[in-house]
Amino acid sequence: MTLPADLTLMTAAEARSLLDNREISSVELTRAYLERIEEVEPAIHSYLHVMTDVALTQASDADRRIEEGDIDLLTGVPIALKDILCTIDAPTTAASKILEGYVSPYDARVVARLRDQGAVFLGKTNTDEFAMGSSTENSAYGQTHNPWDTSRVPGGSSGGSAAAIAAREAPVSLGSDTGGSVRQPAGFCGIVGLKPTYGRVSRYGLLPFASSLDQIGPFARTVEDAAIVLRSIAGKDPMDSTSVPVEVPDYLANLRQDLNGVRIGFAPQYTVSGMEPGVEAAVKVAIKQLEDLGAEIVEVSLPHTEYALATYYITAPAEASANLARYDGVRYGNRVEGDNLIDTYLQTRGRGFGPEVKRRIMLGTHALSSGYYDAYYVKAQKVRTLIKQDFDVAFQSCDVIVAPTSPTIAFEAGSRTSDPYQMYLADIFTIPANMAGIPGISVPCGFSDGMPVGLQFLGRAFDESRLLGVAHAYEQAAGWYHKLPEIPAT
């Protein structure tokens, strides 16, 4: 390929080719991204911590590895990490005051795997506090802005990781998806976001929100790049009992250019009142393109989808209330001294947690309390089982399911902060996949009012190869991934 004037215009796969052929060095590539970060961060605020010295040292080491022929998929390739992934050489704050300045004594498993492969860590990206939110406005360190329109949100909770890709501040990044926190911001920012099957990627070292729902996944400009990252981080981990010992296939070998023989399901439950006309129109055009590529579109039914949002907002806060009990100022993180131990707990948590985190802790604690546990949490788990069974039945008649990623385009910053219910509705199409534990991917499928629209594909558990293949075929035919935002000067 021809060497571009701006190295940040390349995909990770293109960078891999140039690095392997010694046409560029990892140090050159890393410097290009660090310069880009310095240029656009005042407008975007994707990062909470830029790891400049670490990145340049890793890049120099990667260049030596490449010279010696010790090359892995991401050797020398820069990557950004959501700030809920533990790192030994940068703070891990979960965008919360309660962990301000905290540096973990160990790496998250995905971080360790990337480090072993010689990837280059550009920095830690902004997020809603403890990954609780749909807009990255809940960060204690300031909100992230959408690169397509800085007056709008990038989505959440992994908004910093998504915005970094759209703004060309990284070629690939990692986020986490508990109810759509990879796919929804990918849709809002016009990039690719993949939530793997629950258990496909180790959660060890991921600061937990809801342990039965959380899953780490990649952001990228292209499906091919997302496949590269998934291949690099997936696999059984003895430190995570929920990671599953199933073979990690060569996802790149299964990318395809057509959809002949593929059955794609569409559920009427994913067409809801309140969906913006521009989103609905873009999705209809995309489905027609899938047919043109040879796919057969079949109608499937997911009758319990309407209960997914309510089920999620019982399950996730309940698990969060248990997981966040550890943040008390005793062992790590900020501590506010009170008159006694109980007062110290109250002062530390009262000042350390933000409003949304407090709201979800209270909701979850109530749902788990005596007299309400059976009425709320137990009932939610029964409905969750029905949601999973709906998908099991649907996949008997189709290979993947297509749906909008979100019912709207990215909304104006501040427009939903006073209405939690409207904020929660932003994830109405992404939450069912987390409840069922299945993989999902968002790819750009057009624009509405100048903002990106996301198209979501859902697949069977551990069938990411087929999911990536279908998404890649659509992406290459539609070509929306070529479009990049112009970021205004600050």
Q: Name 23's Cβ contacts closer than 8 Å, sequence gap at least 6.
A: 3
157 is a catalytic site residue: yes
Choice among 139, 157, 158, 321 that is catalytic: 157
Contact, 215 vs 204, CB < 8 A? no
Q: What is the token pair recorded at 396?
A: 């008997």
Contact, 157 vs 405, CB < 8 A? no
DSSP-derived secondary structure for 272-313: -TT--HHHHHHHHHHHHHHHHTTPEEEE---TTGGGHHHHHH
**Cα maximum dimension of the chain:** 70
DSSP annotation of 340 = S
DSSP annotation of 443 = E
Q: For residue 379, count CB atoms less than 10 angstroms from its CB and return exposed for 0-12, middle for 13-18, buried for 19 or more.
A: middle
DSSP-derived secondary structure for 321-333: HHHGGG-SSSSSS
Tell whether omega for the bond before 157 is within 30 degrees of 0, i.e. cis.
Answer: yes
Choice among 25, 26, 82, 96 that is catalytic: 82
State the distance between the two ends of the chain, measured CA to CA, in whole angstroms: 33
Q: List alpha helices for 79-137, DSSP H.
A: 109-117
Contact, 252 vs 224, CB < 8 A? yes
- What is the rounded CA–CA span in Å between residue 311 and residue 73? 39
Contact, 214 vs 178, CB < 8 A? yes
- What is the rounded CA–CA span in Å between residue 435 and residue 179? 8
Q: What is the token pair recorded at 432?
A: 């069912």
Closest CA to 118 of 206, 26, 52: 26
415 is a catalytic site residue: no
- What is the rounded CA–CA span in Å between residue 193 and residue 387? 23
Token pair 């008159």 is at which residue?
339
- Count CB-CB contacts under 10 A for residue 447: 16
- What is the rounded CA–CA span in Å between residue 465 and residue 56? 34
82 is a catalytic site residue: yes
Choice among 104, 181, 442, 465 that is catalytic: 181
Just list the catalytic residues: 82, 157, 181
